[in-house]
């Protein structure tokens, strides 16, 4: 092969390589554009949503809706299924039409007790002695009833008679947390143990009344198939007289 023919062959070969590289680039670019223009399903907020809302609540109350957007418009962390946030809680506000992203949520457990509260439910700390609080037995996740011995002062014409009545004033109260004895040796005995209970915003009134005015104790409910007997009130007459014939 002459020097001229060899140069021509090299030039043709380089031209073919350049053409193939150009074709490869154009094909990949076209695929990339098509990929970015393809539509995908994401979820957006159907209305303004406040922080503290659980992901499970969002998934079941119509707060989210599915929309189609181009792939290039998807916000990093956007969810494609509400189940992705089912066990999370919202930490930042979401505005209507905004894409729902994992960045706005955190783990429920990371929120502590406040992450477990919903709607009218409240957390209240109840202090008492070890017997009242079933110390050593009670644990988070248990359910209890509150039993109270209520003092009734009945004023008569010549004297005042003190009457006691006992009843279950609250039932099926979830235990959120149990606390051991206080590290302060100067704390009163009744304050050295406590539990945190989940009650409604109206149940807390009855709980607070009993705690401040009467004797009380917690009773542990069964973990499975718990049932309640009919409500009743016991006084000295029912305690002494029940079951006595004649």
The conformation of residue 207, written as its DSSP 8-state character, comes to H
**The pLDDT of residue 155 is above 60:** no
pLDDT bracket for residue 184 (50, 70, 90): very low
* The pLDDT value given to residue 196: 93
Return the H-helix or E-strand segment holding 179. Answer: strand 160-179
pLDDT level of residue 18 (50, 70, 90 thresholds): confident
Determine the CATH number of domain 39-112. Answer: 3.90.1210.10
Residue ranges of domains in the chain: 39-112, 121-225+232-240
Is the pLDDT at 190 greater than 50? The verdict is no
Q: Which pLDDT value is given to residue 41?
A: 86
The pLDDT of residue 207 is above 80: yes
Indicate the pLDDT class of residue 200, thresholds 50, 70 and 90: very high
Report pLDDT for 83: 85
DSSP string, 133-164: TTTTT--TT-EEEEEEEEEEEEE-SS-EEEEE
Amino acid 170: pLDDT = 94
Residues 6+ apart with CB under 8 A from 224: none
Q: What is the pLDDT of residue 183?
A: 43
């Amino acid at each position: 092969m002459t020097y001229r023919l060899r140069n021509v062959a090299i030039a043709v070969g380089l031209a073919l390589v350049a053409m193939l590289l150009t074709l490869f680039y154009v094909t990949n670019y076209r695929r990339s554009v098509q990929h970015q223009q393809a539509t995908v399903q994401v979820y957006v907020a159907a209305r303004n949503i406040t922080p503290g809302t659980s992901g499970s609540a969002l998934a079941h109350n119509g707060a989210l809706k599915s929309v189609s957007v181009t792939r290039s418009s998807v916000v990093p962390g956007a969810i494609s299924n509400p189940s992705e946030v089912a066990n999370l809680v919202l930490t930042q506000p979401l505005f209507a039409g905004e894409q729902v992203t994992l960045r706005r949520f955190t783990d429920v457990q990371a929120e502590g007790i406040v992450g477990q509260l919903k709607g009218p439910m409240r957390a209240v700390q109840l202090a008492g002695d070890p017997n009242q609080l079933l110390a050593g037995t009670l644990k988070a996740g248990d359910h209890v009833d509150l039993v109270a011995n209520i003092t009734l002062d009945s004023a008569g014409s010549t004297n005042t008679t003190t009457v006691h009545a006992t009843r279950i004033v609250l039932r099926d109260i979830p235990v959120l947390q149990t606390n051991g004895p206080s590290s302060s040796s100067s704390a009163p005995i009744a304050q050295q143990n406590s539990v945190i209970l989940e009650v409604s915003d109206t149940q807390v009134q009855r709980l607070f009344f009993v705690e401040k005015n009467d004797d009380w104790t917690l009773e542990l409910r069964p973990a499975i198939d718990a049932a309640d007997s009919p409500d009743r009130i016991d006084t000295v007459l029912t305690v002494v007289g029940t079951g006595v014939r004649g």
